[in-house]
Amino acid sequence: MAKILEAIRVVERVGFDKAGVIDLTAGAASSVYVSRETAKGLNFIDRANLVEDGAAPAYVVLGQVQLNNVVHAPLDEADKNLPSEAADQLRPIAVETYGRNAVISAQQVTKILRHLGIDDDGRHCIHEKKLRRKYVTRAGIEAAGDFIRTKPLEAIRAFGARNAIARYEHEHPPAQAEAAQPQ
């Protein structure tokens, strides 16, 4: 009981949103358990490979540590976008990019997420197994929108119907479309 109280005091001092747990019982490979929000703010140096995101501090990992054990904290309400709601938010970008008759559906949002490799990655898209729901986070919607804006030809090929792809290619020949894409 004393060890539990000591651990709670440490977590309280650090802050519940910034604390994690290291399981050293796994032998050669220890496990780090942190919330998704805590994991977002960490950068690790692993075997001389710098993995960084922004200007957050980096940590040197000595030995074998598995960094894939992220404890999922409750999802923020703003990140609980069903694919149909994500489609509604992406529709203005589709219209801006492909013209006023452009549409985007929930299934097409899923195709974009799969194409980008972020479907069910725990950051951009989360499959909640208990409720059998799929949520697209704000980061997922932003990534999909950026993809449509910066690579419109690749995007429409990933999610569009054949006639929509043909119409876009006719209006923007591939050489012209690729040259017009921001670098």
User: What pLDDT score does 150 carry?
Assistant: 95
Name the E strands within 39-180.
43-46, 49-51, 58-61, 64-66, 70-71, 125-128, 133-136
pLDDT tens readout for residues 60-104: 555 555 555 555 556 678 888 999 999 999 999 999 999 888 899
Nearest of 73, 81, 70, 154 to residue 112 by alpha carbon: 154
What are the sequence ranges of the domains in the chain?
2-71, 77-180
8-47 tens-digit pLDDT = 888 788 777 777 777 766 555 566 777 666 666 665 555 5
Between CA 162 and CA 53 the distance in angstroms is: 37
- Look at residue 182 in the predicted model and tell me its pLDDT: 56
